[in-house]
Amino acid sequence: MGLPGGWELILIVLVVVLLFGATKLPKMARSLGQSARVFKAEARGMKEDEEREEAKKREKAERESRELTSGESVTPSVTPPVEDKQRDESKN
């Protein structure tokens, strides 16, 4: 089934005008346009948020990579104090 022709389109418009009234149609069209603008703005904002998160992840990975190549470790190693070993040996 194809797109509606000329007479079918006129009939559809006439039914819509009769159902909603001629005064409500401009308000509905305006509301629909505002909703579309808000939707586009939100979608753009979500895309920008995702791009910022990706940039932060890349920056963190690069920073960790630089730390590892410079000979530093990401997590510091912890060695037990010498005094604790001596206390354990004196108890036995």
pTM for this predicted structure: 0.45
**pLDDT reported for residue 53:** 94
- Predicted local confidence at residue 46, as pLDDT: 95
Residues near 28 by beta carbon (within 8 Å), at least 6 away in sequence: 20
For the cut 90, the answer to whether the pLDDT of residue 26 exceeds it is: no
Here the tokens at position 53 are 């998160």
* Across 29-51, average pLDDT: 94
Q: Report CA-CA distances (Å) from 34 to 41, 45, 57.
A: 11, 16, 35
* 25 contacts 17 by C-beta, under 8 angstroms: yes
Q: Please, are residues 68 and 74 in contact by the beta-carbon 8 Å criterion? A: yes
pLDDT at 44: 95
Give domain limits for the chain.
17-55
41-91 per-position pLDDT tens digit: 999 999 999 999 999 999 998 888 887 776 555 555 566 555 555 555 555
> How far apart are the C-alpha atoms of 54 and 65, rounded to whole Å?
16
Q: From CA 9, how far away is CA 3, in angstroms rounded? A: 9
| Distant-in-sequence, close-in-space partners of 12: CB < 8 Å, separation ≥ 6 | 4
